[in-house]
Amino acid sequence: MSNFQKILDSFSIKDTLNPKIWENPKEPNKSVMIPKVRKGLMRIAEEFIDYLGEDIFVDDVHLTGSLANFNWSEFSDFDLHVIVDLKQYEKQSDLYKQLFNLKKQVFNDKHNIKIFGYDVELYAQDAEEPHYSSGVYSVMNNEWVSKPKKFKNEVDKGILEKKIKSWTEKIDTAIDEGKDLETIKTKLKDYRKAGLEKDGELSYENLVFKFLRRSGHIEKLFDTVNKETDKELSIERTIQE
């Protein structure tokens, strides 16, 4: 099986929640997180909270994304969100938001934490920030914030494949020609955001974005943008100009 097909097939909807993580995985109304998994996630969250700073007041810790839903796969990760009400910082809320985003990036780059082979990714989320996942579990309170529901329709793989190929061609062309890299980067972010706002996590736009991330196209695009920026800022080139 080609890597393209393997990633495409990963968007199939499962009949149950992930049984490694959930008790009663067939019935979300009765399912709770397996105790040892919850304990492990709380330890990780506490480490991240300590890293954010001692003065932070945390509202909750949420597991969201595909591992809290029926669309999990081998490409899933533990999407662990530490919920913070940024209003506690009053006029400095924007500054703290930037700080937490930076610390999140450094923490995730510095650590390689896995549970059952799935990466654990940490994120500091503003309590008022919109979130589009239909499955959200409070690890702190051991209860569902938003119970996942079985998706009524499978993803049309034919339509998804066409949209994926269109974007991979755009990205590959931009990288090969060294043109419109920032434009493609911005359009891709806006494309995903529009899909999430309109149709949620199973929108074609979000699935295209996930495919491009899993295939390495997004990393390649961002790396190329950074390399081009480095060239523009290099001393030798600046002096010559």
Torsion sign over Cα 66, 67, 71, 77: positive
Query: For residue 14, what is the DSSP state?
Result: P
- Taking each helix axis from N to C end, the angle separating 181-199 and 217-233, rounded to the nearest 10 degrees, works out to 140
Could you give the angle at the alpha carbon of 70 between the alpha carbons of 190 and 209, nearest 5°? Answer: 20
pLDDT the model gives residue 30: 92
215: left (phi over 0), alpha (psi -120 to 50) or beta: alpha
Is there a contact between 214 and 7 (Cβ–Cβ < 8 Å)?
yes
Q: How many CB atoms lie within 10 A of CB 69?
A: 27
> Domains plus CATH for the chain?
13-146 (3.30.460), 157-240 (no CATH)
Per-residue pLDDT of the chain (241 residues; tens, 9 = 90+): 688 999 999 988 999 999 999 999 999 889 999 999 999 999 999 999 999 986 788 999 999 999 999 999 999 999 999 999 998 888 888 898 899 999 999 999 999 999 999 999 999 999 988 877 889 999 999 999 999 988 777 788 999 999 999 999 999 999 999 888 999 999 999 999 999 998 888 899 999 999 999 999 999 999 998 988 888 888 655 555 5
pLDDT the model gives residue 169: 95
